[in-house]
Chains A and B, each alone.
Chain A
């Protein structure tokens, strides 16, 4: 008896490492328990289906959308917008952030402005975005850009600034020019951090999807959710939300996997 209780206690010690299988199991078991509770609550009629449809209803709704092809159309439209918004933000944020991290003058010029815009609510910019970019895809992409860029650029700047300063000094001592140090020392040193920033910020782009598709959209995962609100189609709302979460999880997995392959040199044996 003392052995087993000691073993059970062992997994709950602070920072205690646990076997891999247990880690994975915990990640599956906890959501499974939540779904089970959800199922029980709706099955026992504890909550009216209007407020919380059961997992079965939500699944049926998802299957319907898939069968009718709505789901694929919505997903492809939304994924296109996400990629366009996030990529355009990234394409600007990378050079600007890298310059801000290396040149104090550029940091001084841009940082106060970016920090101010960062706090402006993107939803409040929807009217202006329509005025500037119309009601087509460009407007959705602009909203996603605004929601992503200003956070992203500051994080990239930080990624660049936090590299070991002595790496730059070593490069100077070895006779490399400023440009060479930037391209061959600073960038590779900051790359893992920047990759992580890209992973985190594409998550934020996903969270802006509903906001982006709030106005004048015919299709899209966010649009479907907003439409469902009108008809109180709670199962559509729930399915759409869960599906966005699922796509986000896939994106995250892709970035983590690619990052591990790209930066294999970080791994200790």
Chain B
């Protein structure tokens, strides 16, 4: 059985007295430890979909189930990583991560051990006592990833986490994320508008159509793992990328009012 089931989700916003349909009937099921990327042109409702799974926004119709039980709000079975890092700036790197363990029943020693492990895993050893303001964007996002993983959620929800980083840092972060994911086996729902990133990371790429958001394509990525950065030059990779780029271009033209 799938770990995450998205069942007929719809979301309508009311703007100036008009109902705007952001998401129209999305069905998606994600298996345990699966890495799924969600791509789409801007405004296709991909972040809204992620927020709904995170329990941060309510649906207009449909239901989300995790391990069979319906989602009714945010919870510790899910971890969230936001584009803007959203760190607790007044806490050091270490206490940012430790803060996430506060609502667990772990002993002090277990917490110490977990925090140290994840600081190591995201390559922040030596920066335990730094303030977030002293870190680069990539390092800040690594703190956020460690904070989201340290309490061992079943699903990691990532909303364009590398969107604000420069291209080189982004590449390094993608590799780091894959390494952490392979070592800690967690289900990932990864929203991005970067097609190459989506393909490089995922087992499956879901393309959302715009206005209203619907699933346009659900494409398996049969590339072998572990993946190295040079896989992006392989013909299979390029073929997948081309297919998705074509879909997104079609959707973008549609929202801009051009004929496809």
Contacts and interface: CB of A to CB of B under 8 A. Distances in A.
A169 B56 contact: yes
A170 B89 CA distance: 13
Given A173-B76, A175-B76, A185 B88 contact: yes
B158 to A, nearest CB: 13
B133 A267 contact: yes
A166 B103 contact: no
A172 B103 CA distance: 11
A211 B122 CA distance: 60
B134 A176 contact: no
B84 A164 contact: yes
Contacts of A15: none
Contacts of B55: 172-173
B86 interface: yes
A266 interface: yes
B151 interface: yes
Interface string B45-75: 0000000001110000000000000000111
A269 B74 contact: no
A236 to B, nearest CB: 47
A174 B89 contact: no
Interface string A232-269: 00000000000000000000000000000001111111
B162 to A, nearest CB: 16
Contacts of B78: 173
A173 to B, nearest CB: 5
A167 B133 contact: no
B149 to A, nearest CB: 12
B13 to A, nearest CB: 16
A189 B151 contact: no
Nearest to B157: A173
Given A174-B151, A265-B133, A266-B133, A166 B74 contact: no
Contacts of A175: 75-76, 103
Classify the interface of chain A: helix, strand, loop or mixed: helix
A185 B90 CA distance: 9
A180 to B, nearest CB: 9
A266 B89 contact: yes
Contact of B75 (A173, A264, A267, A269): A173
B90 A188 contact: yes
Contacts of A176: 102-103
B223 interface: no
A189 B99 CA distance: 15
A133 B84 CA distance: 51
Contact of A172 (B73, B82, B88, B147): B73
A267 B90 CA distance: 11
Interface of B: 54-56, 73-76, 78-80, 82, 84, 86, 88-91, 99-100, 102-103, 131-134, 147, 151
Q: Top 8 closest A-B pairs, CB basis? A: A166-B86, A175-B103, A172-B74, A265-B131, A166-B82, A173-B74, A188-B90, A269-B134
Given A170-B86, A185-B88, A191-B90, 8 more contacts: A169-B56, A173-B55, A174-B99, A174-B102, A176-B102, A189-B88, A267-B131, A268-B133
10 contacts: A169-B56, A170-B82, A170-B147, A173-B79, A174-B76, A174-B103, A176-B102, A266-B89, A266-B131, A267-B134
